[in-house]
Copies of this chain bind each other. A is one copy, B any other.
Amino acid sequence: MNYFYLVPAASVAALFFAFYFYRKMMKKSEGTEKMKLIASYVREGAMSYLKQQYKVVTLVFIVLALLFATMAFFGLQNNWVPFAFLTGGFFSGLAGFFGMKTATYASARTTNAVRHSLNSGLQIAFRSGAVMGLVVVGLALLDISAWYLILDFFMEDADAGHKLIMITTTMLTFGMGASTQALFARVGGGIYTKAADVGADLVGKVEAGIPEDDPRNPATIADNVGDNVGDVAGMGADLYESYCGSILSTAALGASAFVLNPSMQQNAVFAPMIIAAIGVFLSILGIFLVRTKEDASVKQLMASLNRGVNVSAVLIAICTFGILYLLGFSNWVGLSFSVIAGLVAGIIIGQGTEYFTSHSYKPTRNIANSALTGPATVIISGMGTGFVSTVIPVTTIVFAILISYLAAIGFNVQHMVSAESLSMGLYGIAIAAVGMLSTLGITLATDAYGPIADNAGGNAEMCGLEPEVRRRTDMLDSLGNTTAATGKGFAIGSAALTALALMASYMEEIRIGMLRLGDNVIQFADGKTVEVARASFVDFMDYFEITLMNPKVLAGIFIGSMMAFLFCGLTMGAVGRAAQKMVEEVRRQFREIQGILTGESTPDYARCVSISTKGAQREMLLPSLLAIIAPVFTGLLMGVAGVMGLLAGGLGAGFVLAVFMANSGGAWDNAKKYIEEGHLGGKGSDAHKATVVGDTVGDPFKDTSGPSLNILIKLMSMVSIVMAGLTVAWSLL
């Protein structure tokens, strides 16, 4: 229990430094009156959106909490679940709120700082991004440690091994709160930002021929607001969810893997939390390492960013050996390699993303070249590249799964899938995800810093500052691209591993659900009986017939694969519709308000902001609710086997689809930038126009549908977990 207190300590440290960086940033000047004004527009738009979104989400949370309370009332769930669910959602929302607030205060200050030097701009933008990173990990560890202490105190001490299983599976349900919040944040934010972006581009850039972020474009404020609600708040909620999910599912699997060894069981539950806690301290260290001389070159700035991220990663790898040794794992070396497998996989996926989406490499340049034959070939080659780019992440994840599993069982290949190996190996996979996310405090900082720099550029443009300022903010922006690619690698990779761990946790919840209903013994076809409390995963697979020949499993795999596609379709359609409305509004303003294009009168920014807000709110409900309903419906129709099929199919197809969409979108974006840098005819050429089409198509790919899929695959698992009791009690087939 002693080491456990590192967890709340890390939480406090994270929140303290977040506050410290926030205060330091707030002391800087926001620049001229005009800069302040523009920044306040963006801030107000963002905040009003967030309020609107939280209203809708609160309603959904109340309905779901009542549903869980009803389930608890009928003995299908325990009484803590509704509360755990609510706190998960609340803290996730809080993290998004703080992160976005900081970001919207930081952007004009970054612009102002950049007027003096590149380095001071980097400092403000990066440390404001760090606020987001630290708030996310701080609140997550706060929620985790508080609930652990509460449940440990209140839950009856029936049987030592069983108690920890109850605690950890209950805690998992606050993961569902975080997932639900994240889905709404990603889908709503994603629709908002891309409706505004696509709308602004289509009329502003293409029809009116004015540059990006031009103050004459009525949708430009909405576009800048979108960066904040989509890329900052949305991403924060997303990673809050991954972070909690990976820690909690590892804890749950640890409780189950070591159920026969009470002294180790406790430490197996603590291990992921403590690795995360140490990761927080190392992240803070890493953040302080990001600093350079005042007259630093871009290359030096880059090196400095990388230094921060890499030092944290290397140190956490080393520390893991120590942590697992001190916690008394007999196979501490093997398990440490599981963690490292996760870390390395995250880095490789990031490098792969970089290769396929940066215009320093062939794939994106080929897309740019195909622009010479028009937009159709840009789309064809971009999609082709995206499809092919799935090879690296999938291969990497496959090896990460096999290696982290095998390392955790001491490479006992002969009995790779025996009852003991299975629970230990799955624990290894889960802890690999924890490893990947352990330095989230700093990796998220490099991610959240991107939109801040982007908004800083927008501010400079709208205020008509000297081109040099805009050039510097663009440099800051592009600087983050490499680290952001790595960040994305960690996000998607950890989602896959976490979803896998959650499938195992689902089986744990099925166990609890059976015990709650008084099904204490399972009987097999050959007459053999096993106590539910002692049944292994192998027994469960056997009893529920979760094999690849079971038609229910296969039907589930089909439905799961389809869910990923359907979800993408709905979110893409939503962006299309919302963007259409934005286009009409911008055209209307150009037509009806005299003198916008000559700069004589100001466009009605607020109206565009409100169109995006309403569009996002209206459109986010259907896909989000569908993600919640599908696993419930599948469970009621086809039982546990159907749900497991659904999760496996959703994970397989969803992961690959998410990578495809993110990478196609990223590659189109950079193919356009490549031409804008003066290649193949440069800005304004036909080739450039063709890549603008690609970029516009890529917007919902990479910023709406792709990232939302990340959450979909985890949310479906979370819903299944929370609803497990229902599936145990009723199912048609």
Pick from B422, B553, B565: contact of A390, CB under 8 Å: B565
Q: Does A550 contact B (CB under 8 A)?
A: yes
A576 to chain B, nearest CB (A): 5
Name the segment of A162-170, A270-278, A466-474, A499-507 touching the other chain. A499-507
- The answer to whether residues A561 and B376 also contact, given A548-B553, A572-B387 and a CB cut-off of 8 A, is no
List chain B residues, Cβ under 8 A from A504: 549
State whether A660 and B565 are in contact (beta carbons under 8 Å apart), knowing that A373-B583, A537-B549, A548-B503 are contacts in the complex. yes
B390/A562 in contact, CB under 8 A? yes
Chain B: which residue is nearest A692 at the CB level? B376
Rounded to whole Å, the gap between the CB of A166 and the closest CB of chain B is 22
Contact residue among B389, B525, B638, B645 (Cβ-Cβ distance under 8 Å from A548)? B645
Residue from A391, A429, A645 having most chain B Cβ neighbours under 10 A: A391
CB <8 Å contact, B656 and A417: no
8 contacts between A and B (CB under 8 A): A206-B374, A377-B576, A380-B697, A388-B573, A401-B558, A557-B652, A565-B657, A649-B652
Given the interface pairs A559-B394, A653-B561, A693-B379, the reply to whether A370 lies near B648 with Cβ below 8 Å is no
User: Is A202 a contact partner of B569 (Cβ separation < 8 A)?
Assistant: no
CB neighbours (8 Å) of A560 from chain B are: 652
For residue A525, which residue of chain B has the nearest CB?
Answer: B418
- For the complex, what is the distance from the CA of A541 to the CA of B389, rounded to whole Å? 33
A602 in the interface, Cβ–Cβ < 8 Å?
Answer: no
Given A566-B390, A580-B370, A656-B561, A380-B572 contact (CB < 8 Å): yes
Within 414-443 of A, Cβ neighbours of B (below 8 Å) are at 416-419, 422, 425-426, 429
Cβ B503 vs Cβ A376 within 8 A = no
User: Closest B-chain residue to A649, C-beta based?
Assistant: B652
Tell me which residues across on chain B come within 8 A of A564, comparing CB atoms. 656
Whether A575 sits at the interface, judged by CB under 8 Å, is: yes
Q: Chain B: which residue is nearest A386 at the CB level?
A: B569
Query: Smallest distance from the beta carbon of A261 to chain B beta carbons, Å?
Result: 21
Give the residues in chain B near A692, CB-CB below 8 Å. 376
Name which residue of chain B comes closest to A545, CB basis: B417
Q: Which residue, of A422, A551, A700, has the highest number of chain B Cβ atoms within 10 A?
A: A551
* A524-571 residues at the B interface, CB under 8 angstroms: 525-526, 528, 537-538, 541-542, 545-555, 557-562, 564-566, 568-570
A198 within 8 A of B: yes
A504 to B551, CA, bound (A): 11
A551 near B380: Cβ-Cβ < 8 Å: no
Q: Is A376's CB under 8 angstroms from B573's CB? A: no
Query: What B residues does A379 contact at CB under 8 A?
Result: 379, 693, 697
Tell me whether A656 and B555 are in contact (CB under 8 A).
no
A309 vs B389: C-alpha distance when bound (angstroms): 43
Contact B380 A576 (CB under 8 A): yes
Residues 372 to 416 of chain A near chain B (Cβ within 8 Å): 373-377, 379-381, 383-391, 394-395, 397-398, 401-402, 405, 413, 416
The answer on a CB contact under 8 Å between A554 and B376 is no
